[in-house]
Amino acid sequence: MDGVFIALEGPDGSGKSTIMEKIVEYFKMNHIEFIRTREPGGTKIGEEIRDLLLMKDNQNMAAETEALLYAASRSQHMHEEIMPALDMGKVVLCERFILSSLAYQGIGRGLGVDRIKQINDFAIHGLRPDLTLFFDIDPRRTLIRKVGNGRGDRLEQEGVEFHNRVYDGYRRLLRECTETIEVIDATQDIEGVFNQCIYHIENTLEYKEG
């Protein structure tokens, strides 16, 4: 395995997808081989699991069911997409990975970080990104726009308290994690956020190339 695995993380509405578009353009311009993917989802099975997870009708989903479904989607994703791409030496650009489960299910839902780590370690055999970019922005600044008038998916509709817990959870995990996580000031304009991301991505690619 000699590819590079890069994950974009952060609260709902923190601008990950917008910046991902720009990173993709940058990779194409620079002829860097990559795949772009996301969680939950990224495979046919994973996208079906995503629908189950985010459907507003599924209000009665138990927290444990939710955690297992995210882990199941991730497992399929790792086997079918991520590992093969890394084995071919490609860069994997992924919106969200295990840190989302630790923050949303482990802390947001109160299931416990260690238990979420355990089910995920079973699902993905301990795989971790080489670089995680954390989009740092208070969800109170972004959610109102997304969930106003009943819009937004099941998770986005959870309410400000839940999303604050998730955000605080992320910040706690940043302090505790030993992996490479770079904090991106996501309050800046698009160009500013993009430049911060590219700075860290280039450093990681150079380091991996040795």
Site residues, ligand TMP (CB under 6 A): 12, 38-40, 54, 70, 95-96, 100-101, 104-105, 155-156
In angstroms, what is the minimal distance from the CB of 210 to ligand TMP?
31
Contact, 38 vs 25, CB < 8 A? no
Q: Which long-range contacts does 146-150 make (Cβ < 8 Å, 24+ apart)? A: 146/12, 146/13
Between 30 and 65, name the residue whose CB sits nearer to ligand TMP: 65
Angle, vertex CA 140, rays to CA 53 and CA 65, nearest 5: 20
* H or E, element range at 36: strand 34-38
In angstroms, what is the minimal distance from the CB of 159 to ligand TMP?
12
Please list, in sequence order, all residues whose beta carbon lies within 8 angstroms of the beta carbon of residue 179, skipping any fewer than 6 positions away.
Answer: 128, 129, 132
In angstroms, what is the minimal distance from the CB of 47 to ligand TMP?
11
Using DSSP bridges, classify how beta strands 181-185 and 131-136 pair: parallel, antiparallel or unpaired: parallel
Between 136 and 156, name the residue whose CB sits nearer to ligand TMP: 156
- For 111-140, b/e burial (b = at least 16 CB within 10 A) is bebeebeebbeebbeebebbbbbbbbbebe
Between 12 and 136, name the residue whose CB sits nearer to ligand TMP: 12
Between 55 and 190, name the residue whose CB sits nearer to ligand TMP: 55
DSSP lists the bridge partners of residue 7 as 94, 132
Between 4 and 99, name the residue whose CB sits nearer to ligand TMP: 99
Angle, vertex CA 34, rays to CA 11 and CA 137, nearest 5: 15
In angstroms, what is the minimal distance from the CB of 120 to ligand TMP?
9
- Signed CA dihedral, 161, 131, 76, 126: sign only: negative
Between 86 and 94, name the residue whose CB sits nearer to ligand TMP: 94
Residue 13, token pair as written in the block: 């509405």
In angstroms, what is the minimal distance from the CB of 87 to ligand TMP?
23
In angstroms, what is the minimal distance from the CB of 69 to ligand TMP?
9
